[in-house]
Each structure stands twice: as structure tokens, then as C-alpha cells.
């Protein structure tokens, strides 16, 4: 069963998501050559706490592991769940995915964006544009009456003409009281798959797209997922509210 939120829950989700979006926006503005990813993560912690929230990533458990950082920072061939590191200094031409997941008053807002560090290769810029575009197309399918598969299929269709890889090992997800609720939202597959969406469901939609092969390898740290062929990977994510009408993106930063 996909959870349907009450009006009160949605009000809190709006706050959690606004915080997550504000933090993401501010972190992305700090990204520049010479910045190391540990400092970026620490700034993420400070910002989240300055808004009265907590990181939903820090101490997140998977099996007997606990995630040791406050945000997920994934550079170049890293796909998701990268850990900030003092020795990882961003250089011109890199890309970095900043993923901010905030817990606020019992509810979670989740969003991510891949940004360029200075000027990047044309092919990498196309990867970023295609992934952002695929997220937009996917969000547009988050409509009452559509199946989850409409979202999945929209990503696959948007990416196909570019020939980029679609990561299959990680999926989007329902989000609310916990980071990962039903449903799972793959970034590929037929429209007929999955349950039908209803108003007041909240979904984290997140295509992860690679320039080369989408095959995944795990780093020795037990968390960081990277491409086996070391090709760059992009990832854009929003938390979205299904409404009786158009989908509403909840992870929108305040102006300024």
C-alpha cells in the first residue's frame, strides 16, 4: 500500500522539503574548484541545523552499516551515496551530485542535483541536461490515476534518444515519515507496471543516468556506488506531491 498523507502531514512535508531545497541550493552555490567535499558536507550539516532540521542521512542504517556523513556527495563516476572526504578536492571539469535529505518534525524532504565544477566536457553537459530533462518528464507523469510505471517509462523514453545508461540498481521511492516508503520507482519499464497514484501521495523521483555503462560497483567504504566503467554519472531528484491536478514539486527553494 502506498501511503496517502493527511493535510497535516503534507503541511509538515512542505516545510521539510523547503528546507531540503534551500540547503541544496546553498550547497550548490559553494561548489567550485578547490573546495573539498568534507567541508561541503560540514556546511550541509550547519545549514540543515540552521533551519531546525536534521540530516536524514547521518547514521542511516543499512544492514550493520551506518552512513557517516550528513549529505551524499558523489563526484564524477560516483553515482550515489558518496561520503565527503578532506582529500577529495574538486577540480575544474568535475561534476558533483549533491543529495540533501532532511528530517524535520518527523517528516522527510529529499532532493538532489548534479552540478558542474567550472566548465565541463560537452558530452558531460549533455548528460546533465538530459538527466534534468528526464526528471521533468517523469514528474509530469506523477498524476492521480497514472500507474507508477508511467513515471518509470517517462524516464526511459527521455533518455533513450541520447543513448545514455540508466542505473537499475537504485530507484526512486515514496517518502514521508521514513526516507524510503512504498512504492519503489524504477527509472525504466513499461507504463502498465505498479500501483495507481492517488492524490496526497508523496514521491521522491530520481533518475540516475550514466555517460557509459550503467553497471554499478560498490566502493570499499561500503556506501559509495560508482560506475564499473568509471564513466560519469548524473542524478536529479525532487520530492513531488500527487494532487487532483498537476503534480506539485515540494522541494523548491525560497527566492533569493
**Residue 123 CB, nearest distance to ligand MF3 (Å)?**
26
C-alpha cell read off for 46: 550547519
**Residue 83 CB, nearest distance to ligand MF3 (Å)?**
8
User: Nearer Cβ to Co ion, position 27 or 120?
Assistant: 27
User: Nearer Cβ to Co ion, position 23 or 120?
Assistant: 23
Interatomic CA distance for residues 105 and 101, integer angstroms:
13
User: Nearer Cβ to ligand MF3, position 49 or 246?
Assistant: 49
> According to the binding rule CB under 5 A, does residue 204 interact with Co ion?
yes
Identify whether the C-beta of residue 102 lies closer than 8 Å to the C-beta of residue 52. no
Give exposure, 194-225, as e/b (b: 16+ Cβ within 10 Å): beebeebbbbbbbbbbbbbebebeeeeeebbb
User: Nearer Cβ to Co ion, position 40 or 112?
Assistant: 112
**Residue 99 CB, nearest distance to ligand MF3 (Å)?**
5
> According to the binding rule CB under 6 A, does residue 78 interact with ligand MF3?
no
Q: Binding string to Co ion for residues 161 to 190, with x set by CB under 5 A, is what?
A: ------------------------------
Q: Which of residues 152-211 bind ligand MF3 (CB under 6 A)?
A: 179
**Residue 16 CB, nearest distance to ligand MF3 (Å)?**
13
Bridge partners of 96? 75, 115
Q: Which long-range contacts (CB under 8 A, 24 or more apart) does 133-138 make?
A: 133/158, 134/158, 134/159, 134/187, 134/207, 134/209, 134/236, 135/205, 135/206, 135/207, 135/236, 135/237, 135/238, 138/187, 138/205, 138/207
User: Nearer Cβ to Co ion, position 58 or 120?
Assistant: 58
Say which residues have a Cβ less than 8 Å from residue 151's Cβ, sequence separation at least 6. Answer: 138, 139, 141, 142, 172, 185, 203, 205
Q: Binding string to ligand MF3 for residues 20 to 59, with x set by CB under 6 A, is what?
A: -------------------------------------x--
CA dihedral 44, 49, 52, 58 (to 10 degrees): 80
Hey, how many other C-beta atoms are within 10 angstroms of the C-beta on 192?
9
Q: Which of residues 93-152 bind ligand MF3 (CB under 6 A)?
A: 99, 101, 110
The listed partner (Co ion, ligand MF3, none) that binds 47, CB under 5 to 8 Å by sort, is: none
> According to the binding rule CB under 5 A, does residue 110 interact with Co ion?
yes
Q: Which residues bind ligand MF3 (CB under 6 A)?
A: 57, 60, 67, 72, 81, 99, 101, 110, 179
Q: Which residues bind Co ion (CB under 5 A)?
A: 110, 204
Amino acid at each position: 500500500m502506498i501511503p496517502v498523507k493527511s493535510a497535516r502531514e503534507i503541511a509538515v512535508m512542505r516545510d521539510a522539503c523547503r528546507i531540503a531545497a534551500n540547503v541544496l541550493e546553498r550547497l550548490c552555490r559553494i561548489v567550485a574548484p578547490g573546495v573539498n567535499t568534507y567541508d561541503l558536507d560540514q556546511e550541509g550539516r550547519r545549514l540543515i541545523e540552521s533551519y531546525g532540521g536534521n540530516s536524514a542521512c547521518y547514521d542511516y542504517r543499512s544492514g550493520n552499516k551506518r552512513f557517516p556523513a550528513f549529505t551524499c556527495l558523489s563526484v564524477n563516476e560516483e553515482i550515489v551515496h558518496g561520503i565527503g572526504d578532506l582529500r577529495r578536492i574538486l577540480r575544474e571539469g568535475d561534476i558533483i551530485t549533491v543529495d540533501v535529505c532532511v528530517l524535520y518534525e518527523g517528516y522527510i524532504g529529499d532532493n538532489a542535483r548534479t552540478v558542474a565544477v567550472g566548465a565541463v566536457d560537452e558530452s558531460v553537459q549533455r548528460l546533465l541536461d538530459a538527466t534534468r530533462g528526464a526528471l521533468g518528464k517523469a514528474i509530469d507523469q506523477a498524476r492521480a490515476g497514472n500507474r507508477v510505471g508511467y513515471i518509470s517509462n517517462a524516464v526511459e523514453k527521455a533518455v533513450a534518444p541520447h543513448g545514455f545508461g540508466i542505473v537499475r540498481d537504485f530507484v526512486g521511492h515514496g517518502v514521508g515519515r521514513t526516507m524510503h516508503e512504498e512504492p519503489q520507482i524504477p527509472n525504466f519499464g513499461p507504463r502498465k507496471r505498479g500501483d495507481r497514484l492517488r492524490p496526497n501521495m508523496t514521491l521522491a523521483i530520481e533518475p540516475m543516468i550514466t555517460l557509459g555503462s550503467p553497471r554499478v560497483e560498490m566502493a570499499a567504504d561500503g556506501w559509495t556506488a560508482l560506475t564499473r566503467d568509471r564513466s560519469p554519472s548524473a542524478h536529479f531528484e525532487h520530492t513531488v506531491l500527487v494532487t487532483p491536478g498537476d503534480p506539485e514539486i515540494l522541494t523548491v527553494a525560497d527566492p533569493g
